[in-house]
Amino acid sequence: MNLLPLDTYPITAIERLNADYCDAVLRRDAGDWGALWRDDARWFFLGEWLEGNAAIVERWTAAMTGFPVVLHKIISQQINAEGDQGEGRVYLEEEIVTAEGDSLRFVGVYHDRYQLSGDRWRYASRRFDLIYQGPGGIIPTGWIGSPTNIEY
Protein backbone atom coordinates (compact mmCIF):
# COMPACT_ATOMS: atom_id res chain seq x y z
CA MET A 1 0.00 0.00 0.00
CA ASN A 2 1.44 3.37 -1.00
CA LEU A 3 0.39 6.23 1.24
CA LEU A 4 1.90 9.02 -0.88
CA PRO A 5 1.06 10.04 -4.45
CA LEU A 6 3.77 8.33 -6.48
CA ASP A 7 4.28 11.14 -8.95
CA THR A 8 4.69 13.75 -6.20
CA TYR A 9 7.21 11.96 -3.96
CA PRO A 10 9.17 9.51 -6.15
CA ILE A 11 12.28 9.39 -3.95
CA THR A 12 10.23 8.58 -0.85
CA ALA A 13 8.36 5.90 -2.81
CA ILE A 14 11.66 4.38 -4.01
CA GLU A 15 13.00 4.42 -0.45
CA ARG A 16 9.85 2.48 0.44
CA LEU A 17 10.62 0.00 -2.38
CA ASN A 18 14.06 -0.59 -0.86
CA ALA A 19 12.58 -0.97 2.63
CA ASP A 20 10.02 -3.45 1.26
CA TYR A 21 12.91 -5.41 -0.27
CA CYS A 22 14.64 -5.70 3.12
CA ASP A 23 11.37 -6.61 4.80
CA ALA A 24 10.66 -9.40 2.30
CA VAL A 25 14.21 -10.76 2.71
CA LEU A 26 13.91 -10.79 6.50
CA ARG A 27 10.52 -12.53 6.28
CA ARG A 28 11.78 -14.83 3.50
CA ASP A 29 8.65 -14.04 1.48
CA ALA A 30 9.27 -14.88 -2.18
CA GLY A 31 5.86 -13.55 -3.27
CA ASP A 32 6.34 -10.11 -1.73
CA TRP A 33 9.99 -10.02 -2.83
CA GLY A 34 9.11 -10.97 -6.41
CA ALA A 35 6.39 -8.30 -6.61
CA LEU A 36 9.10 -5.65 -6.31
CA TRP A 37 10.56 -6.50 -9.73
CA ARG A 38 9.27 -5.66 -13.20
CA ASP A 39 8.41 -8.66 -15.39
CA ASP A 40 11.36 -7.80 -17.67
CA ALA A 41 13.79 -6.95 -14.84
CA ARG A 42 17.49 -7.82 -14.75
CA TRP A 43 19.44 -8.83 -11.62
CA PHE A 44 23.21 -9.23 -11.34
CA PHE A 45 23.64 -11.99 -8.77
CA LEU A 46 26.85 -13.87 -7.95
CA GLY A 47 28.62 -12.82 -11.13
CA GLU A 48 25.85 -13.32 -13.67
CA TRP A 49 22.86 -11.42 -15.04
CA LEU A 50 19.46 -13.02 -14.60
CA GLU A 51 16.73 -11.94 -17.00
CA GLY A 52 13.03 -11.71 -16.14
CA ASN A 53 11.02 -11.79 -12.93
CA ALA A 54 10.44 -15.57 -12.94
CA ALA A 55 14.16 -16.40 -13.27
CA ILE A 56 15.08 -13.82 -10.62
CA VAL A 57 12.58 -15.14 -8.07
CA GLU A 58 13.54 -18.75 -8.79
CA ARG A 59 17.25 -18.03 -8.19
CA TRP A 60 16.55 -15.99 -5.03
CA THR A 61 14.34 -18.74 -3.60
CA ALA A 62 17.00 -21.36 -4.27
CA ALA A 63 19.75 -19.16 -2.79
CA MET A 64 17.76 -18.52 0.38
CA THR A 65 17.62 -22.27 1.12
CA GLY A 66 21.39 -22.12 1.65
CA PHE A 67 21.08 -19.34 4.22
CA PRO A 68 18.77 -20.22 7.13
CA VAL A 69 19.59 -16.89 8.79
CA VAL A 70 19.70 -13.61 6.85
CA LEU A 71 19.85 -10.16 8.46
CA HIS A 72 19.62 -7.61 5.63
CA LYS A 73 19.84 -3.88 6.46
CA ILE A 74 20.25 -0.67 4.52
CA ILE A 75 23.17 1.58 5.49
CA SER A 76 22.41 4.50 3.13
CA GLN A 77 20.64 5.34 -0.12
CA GLN A 78 21.36 7.79 -2.94
CA ILE A 79 18.34 8.04 -5.25
CA ASN A 80 17.54 10.22 -8.26
CA ALA A 81 14.20 10.10 -10.07
CA GLU A 82 12.51 12.05 -12.82
CA GLY A 83 9.18 11.19 -14.36
CA ASP A 84 8.70 7.43 -14.26
CA GLN A 85 12.44 6.54 -14.21
CA GLY A 86 15.00 6.52 -11.43
CA GLU A 87 18.42 5.27 -10.50
CA GLY A 88 20.30 4.88 -7.28
CA ARG A 89 22.89 3.30 -5.07
CA VAL A 90 21.87 1.43 -1.95
CA TYR A 91 24.60 0.45 0.51
CA LEU A 92 23.80 -2.46 2.75
CA GLU A 93 25.13 -4.76 5.39
CA GLU A 94 24.10 -8.37 5.57
CA GLU A 95 24.86 -10.99 8.16
CA ILE A 96 24.05 -14.56 7.27
CA VAL A 97 24.43 -18.03 8.64
CA THR A 98 25.09 -20.67 6.02
CA ALA A 99 23.47 -24.12 5.95
CA GLU A 100 26.78 -25.39 7.38
CA GLY A 101 26.45 -23.04 10.37
CA ASP A 102 29.12 -20.52 9.34
CA SER A 103 28.43 -16.87 10.19
CA LEU A 104 29.39 -14.36 7.48
CA ARG A 105 29.15 -10.60 7.07
CA PHE A 106 28.83 -8.79 3.75
CA VAL A 107 28.90 -5.09 3.00
CA GLY A 108 28.02 -4.07 -0.50
CA VAL A 109 26.26 -1.72 -2.85
CA TYR A 110 23.29 -2.15 -5.16
CA HIS A 111 23.37 -0.15 -8.39
CA ASP A 112 19.71 0.20 -9.28
CA ARG A 113 17.42 1.37 -12.04
CA TYR A 114 13.82 1.93 -10.98
CA GLN A 115 10.67 2.33 -13.03
CA LEU A 116 7.18 3.37 -12.06
CA SER A 117 5.01 0.40 -13.04
CA GLY A 118 1.31 0.57 -12.40
CA ASP A 119 0.68 1.39 -8.77
CA ARG A 120 4.28 1.38 -7.52
CA TRP A 121 7.97 1.72 -8.28
CA ARG A 122 9.72 -1.52 -9.17
CA TYR A 123 13.25 -2.64 -9.95
CA ALA A 124 14.09 -2.54 -13.65
CA SER A 125 17.63 -3.70 -12.89
CA ARG A 126 19.66 -4.32 -9.78
CA ARG A 127 23.36 -5.09 -9.54
CA PHE A 128 25.00 -6.06 -6.25
CA ASP A 129 28.74 -5.60 -5.75
CA LEU A 130 30.61 -6.66 -2.61
CA ILE A 131 32.70 -4.13 -0.72
CA TYR A 132 33.57 -6.38 2.23
CA GLN A 133 33.22 -10.07 3.09
CA GLY A 134 34.33 -11.60 6.37
CA PRO A 135 33.25 -13.42 9.48
CA GLY A 136 29.91 -12.47 11.01
CA GLY A 137 28.76 -12.12 14.57
CA ILE A 138 25.39 -13.89 14.45
CA ILE A 139 25.35 -17.42 15.79
CA PRO A 140 22.73 -19.91 14.61
CA THR A 141 21.50 -20.81 18.09
CA GLY A 142 20.70 -17.18 18.87
CA TRP A 143 18.50 -16.59 15.82
CA ILE A 144 14.79 -16.53 16.64
CA GLY A 145 13.54 -15.33 13.25
CA SER A 146 10.78 -12.98 12.17
CA PRO A 147 7.44 -13.50 13.96
CA THR A 148 4.64 -14.75 11.74
CA ASN A 149 1.32 -14.66 13.62
CA ILE A 150 1.07 -11.13 14.98
CA GLU A 151 -2.06 -10.07 16.82
CA TYR A 152 -2.78 -6.39 17.45
pLDDT of residue 4: 47
Collapsing DSSP to helix, strand or coil, 17 comes out as: helix
Return d(Cα 29, Cα 50) in angstroms, integer.
19
pLDDT of residue 1: 43
CA max distance for the chain: 47
140's CB contacts (< 8 A; 6+ apart) are: 68, 69, 97, 101, 103
User: What does residue 52 show for φ and ψ, rounded to 5 degrees?
Assistant: 90, 145
Query: What is the pTM (predicted TM-score) of this model?
Result: 0.88
| Residues 123/36, Cβ–Cβ less than 8 Å | yes
Q: From first to last of the 152 residues of the chain, give the pLDDT tens digit.
A: 444 454 558 999 999 999 999 999 999 999 999 999 999 999 999 899 999 999 999 999 999 999 999 999 999 999 999 999 999 999 999 999 999 999 999 999 999 999 999 889 999 999 999 999 999 888 777 777 777 777 88
pLDDT of residue 80: 95
pLDDT of residue 7: 52
β-pair partners for 108: 92, 130
pLDDT of residue 8: 56
| Residues 60/76, Cβ–Cβ less than 8 Å | no
Return d(Cα 112, Cα 128) in angstroms, integer.
9
